[in-house]
Amino acid sequence: MSWTRKILRVNLSKGSCTSEPLNMEWANLYLGQRGLASKYLSEEVDPTCDPLGPDNKMIMATGPLTGTMASTAGRYSVITKGPLTGAIACSNSGGFFGAELKFAGWDMVIFEGKSDKPVYLLIQDDNAELKSAEHMWGKTAWETDDIIHATHQDPQMRVACIGRTAENGCLYAAVMNDKHRAAGRSGVGTVMASKNLKAVAVRGTQGIGNVDDAEAFMSATGDGKAVLAENAVTGQGLPAYGTQVLMNVINGIGGLPARNMRDVGFEGAENISAEAMAEPRKSDGKPNLTTNGACFGCTIACGRISTVDPTHFSVKDKPQYQGNSGGLEYEAAWALGADTGVDDLDALTYVNFLCNEDGMDPITYGATVAAAMEMFEDGVITTKETGGVELRFGDAKAFVAITEQFVNGGDFSADLGLGSKRLTEKYGKPDLSMTVKGQEFPAYDPRGIQGIGLNYATSNRGACHLRGYTIASEVLGIPVKTELNDTDGKPELVKAFQDATALVDSAGLCIFTTFAWGMDNIAPQIDAACEGDWSVENCLETGERIWNMERLFNEAAGFTADDDKLPKRLLEEAIKDGPTKGQVNRLGEMLPKYYEVRGWTADGKIPKETRQRLSL
Amino acid sequence: MNVNIEFYASLMKYLPPGKSRFRREVSVEDDITLSRLIKQFHISEAEAHLVLVNGHFVNCGEDRDQRKLVEGDTISIWPPVAGG
Ligand code: SF4
């Protein structure tokens, strides 16, 4: 069955940790991780609650395949009501923490209430206890990880924790695990800080002993790994170049937004691309990219391990940043780079280190700085607000200075911690926020690529590529190529990607497998691991059920069809030049059809028949 | 006539010697088709996964066989890649 069938409930107000059985009826409908934890959240939390109040809950959840021998099966998610958006938030992370939680015998941990004082949760197999974290409060995520390891003297212990930005109220703080992996989006780390929970440390020795049909599972996971190895993308492209290989592709097709999405196309793209990361640099002959890295059980290994040129201004005289650390992934490189107009690879790598060290979402952070840069250039804010930094597009030194100021809680940090929506509203320029439902866009311009715009507009956690990565089809031709600027067929495409992703995110697998795997590769692995019927059809229906359940949470939280929209800039300001010149996003052509294919009403509501069909 | 070629990622090895990271201006026969140009640089069909002419996709097969290049065109080629 693969589930441990055990939940750890941690009441931070009372200081209690209790074990309870997993609701198997729900597990059969929502699988695990994103789906199952969202079901618990929907049942236990009032969607109108204050995300940073004690009534909100935070769930760390694994999927049934997490910790098994399936490729990439090390994932866990943090599910809560997000403070950046006010919508349901689910942030997925790799690394090793998720598998360790499973080895300790837990499917998920539900945190409720709020502790009086900073605490961390220590899980050692069946034993769980809250311990004082007063000596860790005010420390970075990296320091916290080190303190916990020094205290418990167990190198195999895995830590998920928050850095200083979360403590300082930054609304897009991440939960960092294994130092370089992040449940990054929507401010799940801020919720953790609001509960005075600094870290979760886990050590599990129980393994996974309850796979439903072990022989079938061995065979299905073996088949899956063979497919990943033989596929040119998952077998060669991702390990060699990482996600960053997209920088030149997306720029080449006219889909790379730049300078707060004021422009499309970034002249510095090649300097911050995967190819540039692999080039030996002049100072020490070493490339930015040291090696690739893998999360638990992953046979793809897309991770980037990088160093900054030790003579570069950003790390000169800072030996602690001159070693190997988590390098740039595509979305971070875009938000920190193209969106701020900075094409200094070392500066961006250093800022990325700081995002990991102090736990903030680099997409929202970069995009928020970009919005601030546009306001600075327009004279809306000045050095008075920015603590003396001339915050102009393309200025690497200014970007490094503002980031150091930000993580250390300097003058402009409270403003930057708001995210671009609240920041631009504060200064009377709301149209300069490139967000949906309050969350910033990732690295694909919806004017150049139509379907991703519909996905952004309808994503349940605000603008997000990982909710329905139609780029796979629209740009990369996976599984089939669709035309960038067509709107026909895009509602169906978006729905299919969104539902399939919801299922993958609920299984314990990494979404990057889907560059090679279809549901016919994934379903047999789930079916062999879990009791019940996990046919392709049931998996797809489960994904659709999860999507609709998330939408119902948001509806109850006050979201309506009015929130399924894109910023005016993307609907009205046409691309100025390049291969997509003249284009805007034509959301209006796609949204009604999308509601229809989802079985929703014309105003985006989920009618009774659809709820019944999906057992909601 | 002269066209610009851009080979990315693992295809950089097929670039003739030159200074720029990915780009070369090369001289080719007039009216050369896209397929022929790709072959001329020893790039196999499987490797030429994403092909753009002046930023616009040209699909594998007939489209590439029939696409005649003109002076000044920029041809960008990637192997199978993905990210996100
Ligand atoms: S593909 Fe990359 S992100 Fe996914 S599990 Fe593997 S290393 Fe981690």
pLDDT at A292: 96
- Min Cα–Cα distance to chain B from A534, Å: 27
Strands A197-203 and A289-293: unpaired
Q: Which residue has the tokens 């000044």?
A: B72
- Min Cα–Cα distance to chain B from A331, Å: 7
CATH code, B2-78: 3.10.20.30
Pick from A171, A203, A235: which residue ends a domain? A203
Domain that holds residue A358: 243-436
Q: Cβ contacts (< 8 Å) between B83 and chain A: which residues?
A: 238, 242-246, 302, 329-330
Per-residue burial over A552-576, b = 16 or more CB atoms within 10 Å of its CB, e = otherwise: bbbbebebebebbbbbebbbebebe
Q: Cβ contacts (< 8 Å) between A469 and chain B: which residues?
A: 84
Q: What is the DSSP letter of A174?
A: P
Q: What is the DSSP letter of A333?
A: H
Tell me which of A512, A513, A515, A517 to substitute to probe ligand 1's pocket, judged by most ligand atoms within 8 Å of the beta carbon: A512
Q: Which atom from ligand 1 is nearest to the alpha carbon of A513?
A: 1
Whether A466 and chain B come into contact, CB under 8 Å, resolves to yes
Residue pLDDT, tens place only, A211-222: 999 999 999 999
Closest Cα partner for A351 from A391, A311, A321, A324? A321
Whether A532 and chain B come into contact, CB under 8 Å, resolves to no
Residue among A330, A481, A579 whose CB faces B83 most closely = A330
pLDDT grade, residue A437 (50/70/90)? very high
> Do A182 and A254 sit in the same domain of this protein?
no
**Gap from CA of A336 to ligand 1 centroid (Å):** 21
Q: Which atom from ligand 1 is nearest to the alpha carbon of A301?
A: 7
Rounded CA gap, A577 and A324, in Å? Answer: 39
Say yes or no for a CB contact (<8 Å) between A270 and B56: no
Model pTM score: 0.98
Closest Cα partner for A356 from A337, A336, A341? A336
Residue pLDDT, tens place only, A237-282: 999 999 999 999 999 999 999 999 999 999 999 999 999 999 999 8
Residue pLDDT, tens place only, A296-348: 999 999 999 999 999 999 999 999 999 999 999 999 999 999 999 999 999 99
**Dihedrals φ, ψ of A245, to 5°?**
-60, -15
Domain ranges of chain B: 2-78
Helix (H) or strand (E) holding A389: none
- Min Cα–Cα distance to chain A from B54, Å: 7
**Dihedrals φ, ψ of B25, to 5°?**
-95, 125
> Do A279 and A380 sit in the same domain of this protein?
yes
pLDDT at B84: 83
**Dihedrals φ, ψ of A103, to 5°?**
-65, -25
Assigned domain for A396 exists: yes
Q: Cβ contacts (< 8 Å) between A246 and chain B: which residues?
A: 81-84
Residue pLDDT, tens place only, A547-558: 999 999 999 999
> Do A86 and A116 sit in the same domain of this protein?
yes
- Min Cα–Cα distance to chain B from A138, Å: 33
Q: Which atom from ligand 1 is nearest to the alpha carbon of A74?
A: 5
> Do A545 and A424 sit in the same domain of this protein?
no
> Do A182 and A251 sit in the same domain of this protein?
no
Whether B19 and chain A come into contact, CB under 8 Å, resolves to no
> Do A501 and A426 sit in the same domain of this protein?
no
pLDDT grade, residue B83 (50/70/90)? confident
Average pLDDT over residues A448-470: 97
* Residue A571 reports pLDDT greater than 70: yes
Residue pLDDT, tens place only, B2-51: 999 999 999 999 999 999 999 999 999 999 999 999 999 999 999 999 99
Complex ipTM value = 0.98
> Do A472 and A365 sit in the same domain of this protein?
no
Q: Residue A458: which residues within 8 A CB-CB, separation 6 or more?
A: A494, A498, A564, A591, A594
Secondary structure class of A90 (helix, strand, coil): strand
User: Which amino acid is it at A274?
Assistant: A
Assigned domain for A219 exists: no
* Residue A1 reports pLDDT greater than 80: no
Rounded CA gap, A236 and A281, in Å? Answer: 24
Whether B14 and chain A come into contact, CB under 8 Å, resolves to no
Closest Cα partner for A416 from A58, A315, A408? A408
Average pLDDT over residues B51-62: 95
Assigned domain for A526 exists: no
**Gap from CA of B75 to ligand 1 centroid (Å):** 31
Distances (CA, A) of A234 to A71, A237, A301, A413: 11, 6, 9, 39
Angle ∠(A171,A179,A421) on CA atoms, nearest 5: 15
Say yes or no for a CB contact (<8 Å) between B21 and A270: yes
Q: What is the DSSP letter of A137?
A: T
**Gap from CA of A302 to ligand 1 centroid (Å):** 5
